[in-house]
Amino acid sequence: MTPLRLFRRLALAEAVTWALLLSGMFLKYVTDTTELGVRVFGMAHGVVFIGYCLTTVLVAVDQRWTVRRLALGLVAAVPPFATVLFERHAERRSALGETWRLRGSIGSGPADRVAGWLLRNPLHGTVAGVVAVGALTGVALVVGPPAG
């Protein structure tokens, strides 16, 4: 999978889970019918949100994004549907390549070395990603939902 395709899928998934969460919030707060949508779609959105953020960091390191572009990519996960807009913006600016730069090289700094290892060992990288998402989701559950 290319950086473009991976990032596009996570950006879209993040937007879809936002839509589902907003639907659940409508049912809970506007129609006062059920809070099940918020529970289910809130959890799904949280998991995909974390996956999107981790993917954004991986792609940013591999594609040599500036700190500003990385920050914009991460902030795009906060407002509903902004990840899709950011993905389109990044693609237009040629910030999402068709190849992984670090798959064939070691890289220069610690972030490059870690990202390169994850990309050169896709099974281990996938397992590491799933474990990271699970661990961060666990931390989020302990901390509790956003105040509001």
Render pLDDT for 1-18 as a digit per residue (tens, 0 to 9): 999 999 999 999 999 999
Contact 89, 9 (CB under 8 A): no
Residue 79 domain-assigned? yes
Q: Which domain holds residue 21?
A: 3-143
Residue 10 domain-assigned? yes
Contact 60, 69 (CB under 8 A): yes
DSSP letter for 109, please. Answer: S
Contact 77, 52 (CB under 8 A): yes
Residue 14 domain-assigned? yes
Q: Which pTM was predicted?
A: 0.93
Number of domains in the chain: 1
Q: Who contacts 44 (Cβ-Cβ below 8 Å, separation ≥6)?
A: 17, 20, 21
Residue 148 domain-assigned? no
Residue 68 domain-assigned? yes
pLDDT of 148: 58
